[in-house]
Amino acid sequence: MGRFKDRFLPDMYLSDIYELDISGIKSRGIEAVVFDIDNTLVTYDDAVAPDYTIKFFDRLREAGLKTYIVSNNNEKRVKKFSESLGVPYYAAALKPFKKYLKKACRDMSAAPNRTLLVGDQLFTDIYGGRRMGMPTLLVKPVSTKDAGLVGIKRKFEKLVLKGEDHYEA
Ligand SMILES: [Mg+2]
């Protein structure tokens, strides 16, 4: 039995998702990656995928990794962004609930334990991924100007990460 807070802790941490070691995760058996959008890939203000995001997904595809976007944001935002990237998506996904994470894995024909969950929030992204049995990667939020409730959640996230010296949050 682990500590209560262990269920929110990621397997890996990166300050910038674009620094992901693609061949490194492949060699660890990862076949697919599920991404959060907001503050993980881009800021809330980026309606469409910028050039560097498009290139990053090209590199993932070239490496043979399947990709999916699962976001808690609304259909309009997630559709526009995901389509600009050419990646399938689920919006209003209610992470940490497993439903749409499970569907994404199924759509990709990827086993959850070989599907990396990437996100910036412990209580939605990381907890959801862990409930699925997915390996998880926490990224430092792209933007610090979180709106409303997310800002409050950040304070709790800091408490959870405090004392975990392998995370630089
Ligand atoms: Mg996010």
Q: For residue range 24-69, what is the model confidence (pLDDT) as tens digits?
A: 999 999 999 999 999 999 999 999 999 999 999 999 999 999 999 9
Under DSSP, the state recorded for 38 is B
Å from CA of 73 to ligand 1 middle = 9
Å from CA of 159 to ligand 1 middle = 18
pLDDT at 6: 80
What distance in Å separates the CA atoms of residue 125 and residue 159, rounded to the nearest whole number?
17
Å from CA of 112 to ligand 1 middle = 20
**Cis-peptide into 96, omega within 30 deg:** yes
Å from CA of 35 to ligand 1 middle = 9
What distance in Å separates the CA atoms of residue 25 and residue 32, rounded to the nearest whole number?
10
Please name which of 87, 31, 78, 89 lies closest in space to residue 56, comparing C-alpha atoms.
87
What mean pLDDT is predicted for residues 81-99? 98
Å from CA of 64 to ligand 1 middle = 25
Greater confidence (89 vs 151) lies with: 89
pLDDT at 169: 42
Please name which of 118, 141, 123, 132 lies closest in space to residue 35, comparing C-alpha atoms.
118
CATH of 4-161, one of 3.40.50.1000, 3.40.630.10, 1.20.140.10, 1.10.10.10: 3.40.50.1000
Greater confidence (151 vs 122) lies with: 122
Split at pLDDT 50, 70, 90, the class of 141 is: very high
Å from CA of 40 to ligand 1 middle = 5
In one-letter notation, the amino acid at residue 96 is P
Å from CA of 113 to ligand 1 middle = 21
Q: What is the rounded average pLDDT for all residues in the chain?
A: 91
C-alpha angle 153-138-59 in degrees, rounded to nearest 5: 140
pLDDT at residue 1 greater than cutoff 90: no
